[in-house]
Structure 1
Amino acid sequence: MSDPEETDEGTREWFSAAARELDQAERSRQGIAPLSRRPAGLTPTDAWRIAAARDDLRAQRGEVRTGFKLGWTSEVMRRSLGVSEPNFGSLWAYMNVQEGLLDLQRLIHPKAEPEFAFRAEATLAGPGVTALDVTTAGRWAVAVEVVDPRWESRDFDWLDNTADGSSAAAYAVSAFRPTAVPPERLTLTMQAGDVECRGAGREAMGSPAEAVAYLVRELHARGAALEPGMVVLTGGITAPVDLVPGLEIRVSCPELGTCRVRCT
């Protein structure tokens, strides 16, 4: 899903170099200095192209894309952090937590967020896709998303987060189910040690279905679509929690069941 706009060879190499640096940071567990704070700076176009170049690296070595994750879909969270718009990144098969066990040894400074997840059962494409289109084209689940910024600290901004694929690192989902309850009216509870948080689907852009529709419209602008079987994490419903060995995260919804992840 590369950006179709042409750039000169030197600029393309800069995007590729930044993507390789982020890729190495993830693989080595060594955070790097944020790109936005370097002398060359970073623009929104730069950030999206670096993210696309990094996705190309993964695809070239045989990684399989399983879907997408949205970030900053909560207006409350955006306001509190001075962020003006959502973003998104890719999910890959290696990020899917197997048997509910998350190996913290492969991460830098991870946090977990409870979310509603969508799985497409039909292709969703085009500039006019709506939340109603989404609700008739797939099933829903609850999810634990693990975000892990590849920066040396958490002092980074939206541009860095976008270049970093919205900090996508790992995820687990419950069984996908149809639901007669409108997505915005679904509620979930996250239990993580002594912390308990509750939230509703409306926290994600007014509805998780609208969050998916937003993603599809953004994919269309990049010449892509949401294909059958792809998973979408629609954005954190509550504040995230820090992850430490031994912690178990449990996210549950009356209509969608329960998802569990244990940190090792």
Structure 2
Amino acid sequence: MTDMIEAPRAERADLLAERLHRARRDRRLLDARRDATALSPEGAYAVQDHLTRLRLAEGRCHAGYKLGYTSAVMRRQMGVPAPNYGPLLDDMVLHDPATAAGFLHPRVEPEIGIVLARDLAGAGLMLHEVADAVGEVRACLEIVDSIWDGYRFTAEQNTADGSSAAGVVVGGVLDVDPLRCHRVSVELAVDGVALASATSAAAAGHPLHGVAWLAAELAARGRGLEKGELVITGGLTAAVALRPGGTISARFGGTTTVSVQRPAGETDADTGDAGQRDSG
């Protein structure tokens, strides 16, 4: 692993992306204390880009983006200082009610999803400019599934892994003006028992602030958002473990419910000494 860290940046990104890809395929968690410890923010996105190319080469398709750590509660939970983003691919998109099978050690968080009605690009976008590009506001549950053992990672390691993006359950369309989608209440329940509540303003003060931030970040990398893409705008509560046989649901605006269950009998990936298990 030391050789990989000291290799030229482009080679390091390729090698680490392949390592992450192989580990997820083989259901092996990695130890963040051993891997990718010297990543810079830009280096982390280089790894993420290469990892996405590996996934697309398998016949998967780009479907949108997830925003990570737009809420203060999520940054506190995970010790991450600033937002990041990761890709959503077509096989990550599930429809309510959903069954989540085959994940490593999934956690779930409620989010506001934005479906774009037209392309959107550039830095410095105002809220009304973002709102004009919104086709639908949807109730969503994100399924995060980090490759890092115990969800212990640096911000850069999390970014390299696509911000832990693994799935999104897309629920109903919310009857709300996009400019006012920061006022939606959300109640999270596990196995029917209320656990947490929040409003959609928890995502950066307004979910569309996150979309504007993403457009600026992508513009800096020569990219933009496209019509039809889904952007999930960040967890509104702390992420909750989805246990085998369990169900997590969220009710948005008091009327729209979205839920996901995990089959009984599944087991989490091994969370022992992952660094020893995957020696390369």
Query: In structure 1, the residue corresponding to 2:66 is in which secondary structure?
Result: strand
Shift in Å at residue 22 of structure 1? 0.8
Map of 2:117 onto structure 1: 121
Distance 1:136 1:256 in 2: 25
Matches within 5 A, 1:51-90: 51-79=48-76, 81-90=78-87
Change (3 A) 1:92 1:23: same
Shift in Å at residue 147 of structure 1? 0.5
Distance 1:59 1:118 in 2: 23
- Residue 136 (structure 1) aligned with residue 132 (structure 2): yes
Distance 2:48 2:236 in 1: 24
Distance 1:22 1:171 in 2: 20
Shift in Å at residue 214 of structure 1? 0.8
- Structure 2: 5+ residue stretches without partners: 1-6, 264-280
Map of 1:152 onto structure 2: 149
Shift in Å at residue 148 of structure 1? 0.6
Picking from 169, 185, 188, the partner of 1:187 is 185
Shift in Å at residue 99 of structure 1? 5.8
Picking from 30, 42, 47, the partner of 2:44 is 47
Query: In structure 2, the residue corresponding to 1:175 is in which secondary structure?
Result: strand
Distance 2:153 2:21 in 1: 17
* Partner AA of 2:243 in structure 1: V
Query: In structure 2, the residue corresponding to 1:172 is in which secondary structure?
Result: strand
Shift in Å at residue 60 of structure 1? 2.0
Deviations 1:188-238 (A, max 9, x none): 112112342211111101100111111111111111111111001111000
The answer on whether the counterparts of 2:198 and 2:237 sit within 8 Å (CA) in structure 1 is yes
Change (3 A) 1:198 1:221: same
* Partner AA of 2:204 in structure 1: M
Change (3 A) 1:77 1:250: closer
The answer on whether the counterparts of 1:201 and 1:237 sit within 8 Å (CA) in structure 2 is yes
Change (3 A) 1:110 1:159: same
**Root mean square deviation, CA, Å:** 2.0
The answer on whether the counterparts of 1:179 and 1:255 sit within 8 Å (CA) in structure 2 is no
Distance 1:177 1:128 in 2: 27
Deviates more, 1:79-88 or 1:21-30: 79-88
Distance 1:158 1:41 in 2: 12
The answer on whether the counterparts of 1:19 and 1:50 sit within 8 Å (CA) in structure 2 is yes
* Partner AA of 1:118 in structure 2: I
- Residue 205 (structure 1) aligned with residue 201 (structure 2): no
Map of 2:99 onto structure 1: 102
Query: In structure 1, the residue corresponding to 2:196 is in which secondary structure?
Result: strand
Q: Report the number of matched residues.
A: 254
Map of 2:168 onto structure 1: 171
Shift in Å at residue 80 of structure 1? 5.4
Shift in Å at residue 122 of structure 1? 0.8
Q: TM-score, normalised by structure 2?
A: 0.84
Change (3 A) 1:97 1:154: same
Distance 1:27 1:38 in 2: 17
- Structure 1: 5+ residue stretches without partners: 1-8
Shift in Å at residue 98 of structure 1? 4.7
The answer on whether the counterparts of 1:125 and 1:216 sit within 8 Å (CA) in structure 2 is yes
Map of 1:220 onto structure 2: 219
Shift in Å at residue 81 of structure 1? 4.4
Distance 2:96 2:181 in 1: 27
Change (3 A) 1:212 1:256: farther
Q: TM-score, normalised by structure 1?
A: 0.89
